[in-house]
């Protein structure tokens, strides 16, 4: 979240209380102003720091200023309600000005609001490198930065560090049978010297800080909170996270590294409620440590966690349905397993990647494509990650927590 300096520069007319706030009068679509108390640029809905009168003064259609509307909001009935037939293609319309009467859009913000025409990417997103617009992150840009992150992962496992025994591959239709097709563990050998590396050690310290059953509130000790900060501090020293921050800073998503780290801590470690008790879950717990809800394993998408739990006899590997095309690490595997008797029907995970690598890619996709499929490229191979936002509670003036993030396909 942007740092907000509490300067009272204008008095809003008609307010019933005496507090002073800044207005968007004569400031619509200006550049981000670090010295202002609130913002009026086109990114302020995403950052949650707009002035109170931003919608009234700076948007033609108030609904267009709401960040990342859900797909179900754009119904066929709403499209059919248009009084005339508007163009549904971006042919000849790339980066035109916003027109609320259009059925779909081709401006620099349509990806942000999820209302682009279907051919927007093919017609309007064919540029290499970074976009000229600070607001729209193209598919090509995401693929470019994911390749840079892939190459920067110097802490990943080498071929000799991990020996897998994949055993039987089954069809997706067989996953519901809950049959153990693999009598032996998945991991035959792991070079545990990896775990002494700073980011690995800091990551492993976090894994046992959670109660896996939803509905039981998390209560962190001072030491556990310090372990969260230590993990973020260690990963930010790596080339992987420096690549990600540089990219997002260039895109005007974050003004400083500290702002970026603070937002990562909120979106990943901020607590919310999946069950009856407040603060029983977080994005980090769900994705990396794993949870149990209604008798089923949810989340649990990390190879280090899998290995450590398998070593303790708590994880029983059943089979896999997908083995990625990579001939070195990180690789991808979609598995079936039980965790202390609870079944996971499909659990996709990177294998042999560093903690910072997974954290970077999931964060990239959540920031650039929240609640959507995010198309990456790793070592020349396509990969897709799906994220979901937690919509029942927010932080930082409406920003969303991570509900989950996981690999969905290799296409």
Q: What is the pLDDT of residue 72?
A: 24
**Interval 187-230: pLDDT, tens:** 999 999 999 999 999 999 999 988 888 777 778 899 999 999 99
Q: Measured at the alpha carbon of residue 88, what is the angle toward residues 84 and 91, in degrees to the nearest 5?
A: 125
Catalytic residue among 105, 139, 156, 286: 286
* Residue 11 pLDDT > 90: no
Give, for 243, the enclosing helix (H) or strand (E): helix 239-250
Catalytic residue among 293, 344, 372, 399: 344
3-state secondary structure of 122: helix
Determine phi and psi for 91, rounding to 5 degrees: -55, 115
Q: What is the pLDDT of residue 213?
A: 80
The answer as to whether 398 is a domain residue is yes
Q: Average pLDDT for residues 273-294, to the nearest whole number? A: 88
The answer as to whether 192 is a domain residue is yes
The answer as to whether 308 is a domain residue is yes
**Interval 86-111: pLDDT, tens:** 468 877 666 666 666 677 887 766 76
The answer as to whether 122 is a domain residue is no
Q: What is the pLDDT of residue 214?
A: 78
* Residue 141 pLDDT > 60: yes
Q: Which residues of 107-133 are buried (b: 16+ CB within 10 A; e: fewer)?
A: bbbbbbbbbbbeebbebbbeeeebbeb
Catalytic residue among 105, 301, 320, 400: 301
The answer as to whether 9 is a domain residue is no
Q: Which residues pair with 141 in a beta bridge?
A: none
Distance CA 169, CA 6 (A): 59
The answer as to whether 149 is a domain residue is yes
3-state secondary structure of 196: helix
Tell me if residue 181 is catalytic: no
Tell me if residue 286 is catalytic: yes
Domain that holds residue 157: 139-407
Tell me if residue 216 is catalytic: no
Instruction: Evaluate whether 78 touches 104 at the Cβ level (below 8 Å).
Output: no
pTM (predicted TM-score): 0.68
When mean pLDDT is compared across 8-12, 149-153, 184-188, 364-368, the lowest value belongs to 8-12
Number of domains, the chain: 1
The answer as to whether 112 is a domain residue is no
* Residue 409 pLDDT > 80: no
**Interval 44-68: pLDDT, tens:** 765 667 887 877 788 754 333 332 2
**Interval 329-388: pLDDT, tens:** 999 999 999 999 999 998 999 999 999 999 999 999 999 999 999 999 999 999 999 999
The answer as to whether 215 is a domain residue is yes
């Amino acid at each position: 979240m942007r740092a907000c300096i509490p300067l009272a520069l204008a008095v809003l007319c008609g307010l019933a209380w005496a507090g002073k706030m800044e207005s968007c009068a004569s400031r619509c679509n200006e550049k981000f102003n670090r010295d202002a108390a609130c913002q009026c640029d086109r990114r302020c809905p995403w950052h949650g720091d707009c002035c109170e009168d931003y919608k009234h003064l700076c948007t033609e259609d108030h609904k267009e200023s709401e960040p990342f509307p859900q797909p179900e909001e754009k119904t066929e009935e709403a499209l059919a309600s248009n009084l005339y037939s508007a163009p549904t293609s971006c042919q000849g319309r790339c980066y035109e000005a916003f027109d609320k009467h259009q059925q779909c859009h081709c401006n620099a913000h349509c990806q942000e609001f999820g209302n682009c025409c279907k051919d927007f990417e093919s017609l309007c997103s064919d540029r290499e490198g970074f976009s000229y617009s600070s607001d729209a992150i193209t598919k090509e840009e995401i693929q470019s930065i994911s390749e840079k992150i892939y190459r920067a992962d110097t802490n990943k496992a080498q071929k000799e560090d991990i020996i897998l025994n994949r055993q039987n591959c089954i069809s997706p239709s067989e996953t519901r049978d809950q049959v153990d097709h693999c009598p032996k563990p998945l991991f035959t050998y792991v070079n545990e010297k990896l775990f002494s590396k700073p980011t690995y050690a800091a990551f492993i310290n976090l894994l046992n800080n959670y109660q896996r059953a939803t509905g039981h509130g998390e209560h962190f000790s001072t030491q556990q909170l310090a372990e969260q900060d230590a993990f973020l501090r260690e990963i930010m020293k790596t080339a992987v996270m420096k690549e990600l921050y540089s990219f997002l800073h260039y895109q005007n998503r974050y003004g400083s590294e500290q702002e970026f780290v603070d937002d990562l801590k909120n979106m990943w470690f901020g607590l919310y409620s999946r069950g009856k008790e407040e603060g029983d879950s977080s994005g980090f717990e769900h994705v990396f440590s794993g949870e149990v809800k209604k008798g089923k394993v949810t989340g649990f998408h990390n190879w280090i966690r899998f290995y450590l739990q398998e070593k303790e006899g708590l994880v029983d590997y059943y089979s896999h349905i997908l083995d990625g095309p990579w001939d070195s690490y990180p690789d991808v595997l979609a598995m079936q397993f039980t965790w202390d008797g609870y079944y996971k029907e499909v659990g996709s995970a990177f294998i042999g990647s560093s903690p910072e690598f997974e954290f970077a890619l999931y964060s990239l996709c959540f920031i650039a494509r929240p609640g959507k499929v995010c198309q990456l490229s790793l070592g020349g191979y396509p990969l897709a990650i799906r994220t979901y936002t937690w919509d029942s509670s927010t932080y930082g003036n409406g920003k969303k927590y991570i509900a989950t993030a996981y690999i969905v396909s290799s296409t």
